[in-house]
Amino acid sequence: MRTCAVIAEFNPFHYGHAYLLKEARRQSQAQCMLVLMSGNSVQRGEFAILDKWQRAQSALLNGADLVLELPAAATIQAADYFARRSAELVAALQCDFLAFASQGLDAHAYHDLYRLLNDHQSTFDNYLKSALKEGASYPKAYEIALESLQRDRFIKDPVNLKEGNNLLGFGYYQELHQTKTKMIIIQREKKAETIFQSLELPQNLMPGQIFSASQLRSRMVHGQLQAADLPIASYQAYLSGPLIRWEDYYPLLKYAIISRGISQLKAIHLMKDGVETAIYQAALHSTSYEDLLDRLVNQRWTRAAVQRVLLQILLANSKSQWQSALNVFDEKPALRVLGFNRRGQAFLKSRRQGAIQLFTNLSQTIEDSYQLNLKVDRIYQNNLNHQVPEQIVKRRAMILRF
């Protein structure tokens, strides 16, 4: 069956996501819309504001046929790694298409950039190393190196990966351009009216504007969210809660940092450049999660990079443990099915003998391949401020009978 995949976090699921799913189905003519979605941890080193079961249900009620959970080994990583690791799974699942949003870039732009970097990789690497030595963060250094290379090669229309999801899109392109999976690039639609017309929303449900995921999270935690700001399923999930924030885990994080000390922090996955000392000292004097971040974020280390390392500390993932878990997953890849409808069920049946095991119920035979996600869920449930619904025991894939 013709299948189109979307890689997403849906944190939370909003009207822009619904538009993406509908456009992806329209352009691909897919019989099954498959979503590979981050679980309870997301790429920027945070816990999802709504749990994975709530977000998967919102997706299924708004255009998805099947929702699979991305492995934490892909989600708690920098954007380029996240993109390429996730796209690799799309290819392994033998999806016909991968659809993703872009801002101003088309297939030609991605192709030209790929060829440029492929032909001048050593020059690009030198620019990247130079920018890093001057104190730029990795994302900023990558941006500087790319601009420098395009200027050197007299590129008339330089590609800008800063906008929207363009960096993720380039990662998808790098991984998939030589596979059988075709890419559908959907330009991000900013006009609310166009989105609402496409989704055929009734007049009384149309919001005044489209908010980004970060804007919606802010409105949620500050009690400013209106019913019209989100699709009905997402708004109902917001009302039922709880809303999960990093601050809820700050006492656990501070304890984890101080109890380990500098020597043990050094062994944590993603820890580098002697940052363990800065984290330890900042934790000693911090009074809240935001205070801890303020003491650590700087020109060289972005908020997202800091948060990813802090999440690894909270999860107690050492470099060796992380690599071991990654090796097990690569040897026996397994993805959890969060929910599906009739079309999604047909896809699952067609992939029973595939390279990746798609499971609906967690068993001991699968736990090794799922261990990183399992740890995330267990910590996620140990929220100090909210009663978080069970994420693991007796949780089965949601089935929509249509």
Binding-site residues sit at: 7-20, 165
Strand-pair category, 41-42 with 334-340: unpaired
Are 64 and 34 spatial neighbours (Cβ–Cβ below 8 Å)?
yes
The Cα–Cα gap between 96 and 366 comes to 27
The annotated binding site for ATP is made up of: 7-20, 165
Q: 300: Cβ–Cβ under 8 A, 6 or more apart, which residues?
A: 135, 136, 137
* Rounded distance between C-alpha atoms, residue 28 and residue 13, angstroms: 21
Contact between residue 316 and residue 42 where contact means Cβ atoms under 8 Å apart: no
Q: Who contacts 202 (Cβ-Cβ below 8 Å, separation ≥6)? A: none
357 phi-psi bin (left φ>0, alpha ψ -120 to 50, beta other): beta
- Residue 19, C-beta contacts closer than 8 angstroms, at least 6 positions apart: 189, 195, 198, 199
Spell out the residues 6+ positions from residue 254 whose beta carbon is closer than 8 angstroms to its own.
283, 286, 292
Q: Give the residue carrying structure tokens 């690599």.
A: 323
Phi, psi of 298 (to 5 degrees): -150, -170
Give how far the C-alpha of residue 99 lies from the chain's centroid of Cα atoms, to the nearest Å: 15
The neighbouring-strand residues paired with 41 are 47
DSSP H helical segments within 286-363, as ranges? Answer: 289-296, 303-315, 319-331, 342-350
Q: From the centroid of its chain, how far is CA 312?
A: 16
CB 40 within 8 A of CB 377: yes
Our CA angle for 22, 24, 29, nearest 5°, is 95
Q: Which conformational region is residue 33 in: left (phi greater than 0), alpha (psi within -120 to 50 degrees), or beta?
A: beta
Q: Do residues 36 and 338 lie in contact, with contact meaning Cβ atoms separated by under 8 Å?
A: no
